[in-house]
Amino acid sequence: MTVSQRTFEDMGVHLSDVTFCVLDLETTGGSPADCGITEIGALRFRGGEPDGTFQTLVNPGAPIPPFITVMTGITQAMVIEAPPVEEAIPAFLEFLGDAVIVGHNVRFDISFLNAAAERLGYGRLPNRSSDTLTLARRLCRNEIRNLKLGTLAAHFRSPTTPTHRAFDDAAATAHVFWALLERAGTIGVTHLDDLLALKTARGAPSYKKIGLTDALPRRPGVYLFKDRTGSVIYVGKAKNLRSRVRSYFYGDERRTIHTMLRELEAIDHRVCANELEAEITEVRLISAHVPRHNRRSKPPKSQHWVKLTSEKFPRLSLARVQKEDGGTYLGPFRSRKASELVMNAIWDAVPIRRCRGAAGKRQARCAFDQLGVSVCPCAGDVDEATYATIVERVRRGIDEDPALLLDPLVDKVTAHAREQRYEEAGWVRDRHRALARAIDRRRSWRVLQEAGMLWAESSSGDGALIERGRLAAAWGGGEQPPLLAPADLEDPAPQTPPTVAVAEEAHLVWRWLETNETRIIDCSAPLSLPVHPVPSLERLDAA
C-alpha cells in the first residue's frame, strides 16, 4: 500500500474540505526503538463531519510494564488475543489514507507509527500532521495552567474525558482540535497551509498584522508592502500570493524581516496570468519604486558597460553610457566591479592593448607589452594589419564564436590547477563565468530584438507575447492568446539593453523560452539562433 505526498498546491485547500484523522496510541514505553504499541484509537472527519472510527488493542509481542498497566489499565491478558502489529498497522494505514494526522503531542504517536511501518516495508508516513499541543500553545496558553490533554479537554468542555485509553483520548483530542480551529479562524487561518504554518507563527506585535493578508488570492502575482506614508518598501513575487505573504509572519527570524514587518501598514498586490508575468512585473515595479528593503534587486545608482573602442588601435574601456559610436558593447552591469571582471577575462584570453596612450608616442614599450600580456602599439612597432587580427578575434568572440575567448581561459585554469596554483585558478574560473554570462545575455538580447513580436507557449499552456525582448501580454493555461500584430522593425536593434532592469527582463524572458519546454507559435520576423553556442563550464569544472 502506498500513500502519495500532498503537494504544496494541495495544501491550499480550505479546511472545510480537508480530511482529518485524529488519533492516539498507547504504548509499552517512550521509545519506538525498544517499545511497542498496545492500542490504537482514531476518528476520521471529512468536511468537518464524522467519517469513520478505528479502535483496536495490539499485541506488542513483549510484556507490558506494570507502571503502564497502572496508567492505562491495559493488562497483559487483554492483549494476548489482540492482533499483532503486523496485522494492526496495515489495517490502520488503509483507514488513514491521505488524511492529515491530528494528535496531542502528535510527534510521539507518529514516531511509533513510522517505526512500525518501516519495519513492515511501508516506509515512513507521508501524511501532513497538526499538533493540538502546539496549537494550544499559540492560541490559548495564557488562559490555562498547563497544556495537558485533560486540562484542555476540561477547558473546552469536551464530552469525553481523557482516560489514557486510545479511543477516549482521540475523541477528547478531536473536540479540542475543533475548538482550536474555531479560534484560529478568527486570525485568518482558513486553509490547510495556514494551519500547518501556524505552529511557527510570530507573536505580537507583528503577527497581529497578518490580517492584512486576508484579501490576497491564491494565485500567481506580485505583492507590495507599504508603510504608513503609502510608500512601497518591498516588492516580491509569488506562485501563491496568500501563502507567500503569510509566510513572513511564520517564524522568519531575520532582522531585516523584523524591521520590514514593523514598518508594514498595508499590502497591495497584482494578480498575474502566469509566473513569467509575475517575475517581470516584479522587476518593473522594483525599478519604478526602488523599495528600500529590496536591497539585492533594486536598480543600481549607475550602470557600466565594457566597450571595445572604434579607434585606430581599439582597446577595452569601461563606459557609463551606451552610444552609437561604432564600438562593441557588453553589459549593462550592476557595478563597476562586475564590468571589470569581464574586462579582465578578455584581457586574459586575448593580448589586446591595455595602455591608453596614443600609438607611436612612447619611446619604449609599455609595461604590459614588456610582460608579454598584450600587444601594444604605443611604441609604434606594431602595424595595423597585425593588430587588426587581435581585434577581430575579440569581435568574433563576442558576436559569433564565444570559444575564441572562453577556451583560452579554460586552458589557463587547467594550467594553474596542474601547478597547484588553486587561488589563481579560481580567479580565472570566475572571470570565465562572468564573460560567458555576459556574452550569452548579449546574444539572447539580439535574437529577441531581431525576432520582433514573438508568440510562445509553455508545455503547461502558459503563454506570452514578447515584443523585442519585453513582455507585451501573458495568459494562463486554457486562456486564449491575443492577436499577433506585426512589429515595427525599422529602428535598428541596440547592441545591448539600455538599462539593467530591461536586461533582467530580457533574461527572464529568454530563460522562460529555454527552460519550460516552450514552443514558438509565431513571430513577426525570422528567429535566428547563433551558430556557435556559448561553451558550458563542463571542461572548466573537470579541471
Q: What residues are labeled active site?
A: 164
Helix 384-399 × helix 422-451 angle, to 10°: 70
Q: Are 60 and 79 in contact (CB under 8 A)?
A: yes
Question: Which burial class, exposed, middle or buried, applies to 33 when counting CB atoms under 10 A from its CB (0-12, 13-18, 19+)?
Answer: exposed
| C-alpha to C-alpha distance for 543 and 538, rounded to whole angstroms | 9
C-alpha cell at 491: 529602428
| C-alpha to C-alpha distance for 409 and 178, rounded to whole angstroms | 65
DSSP codes, 467-517: ETTEEEEEE-TTPPPPP-PPP---SPPPSS-SSHHHHHHHHHHHHHHHHTT
C-alpha cell at 163: 482516560
| C-alpha to C-alpha distance for 99 and 54, rounded to whole angstroms | 14
Nearest to 408 by CA among 362, 449, 349: 349
Number of neighbouring beta carbons within 10 Å of residue 509:
23
Residue carrying the nine cell digits 558593447? 329
Nearest to 353 by CA among 326, 314, 382, 402: 314
| C-alpha to C-alpha distance for 463 and 521, rounded to whole angstroms | 10
Question: Which burial class, exposed, middle or buried, applies to 488 when counting CB atoms under 10 A from its CB (0-12, 13-18, 19+)?
Answer: exposed
Nearest to 219 by CA among 504, 474, 46, 512: 474
108 three-state secondary structure? helix
Q: Are 306 and 438 in contact (CB under 8 A)?
A: yes
Beta pairing partners, 317: 307
Nearest to 236 by CA among 186, 285, 184: 285
Q: What are phi and psi of 317, to 5 degrees?
A: -145, 165
DSSP codes, 334-352: SSHHHHHHHHHHHHHHS--
169 three-state secondary structure? helix
Element at 276 (helix H, strand E): helix 275-289
Contacts of 194 (CB under 8 A, 6+ apart): 184, 188, 246
Distance of CA 108 to the CA centre of its chain: 32
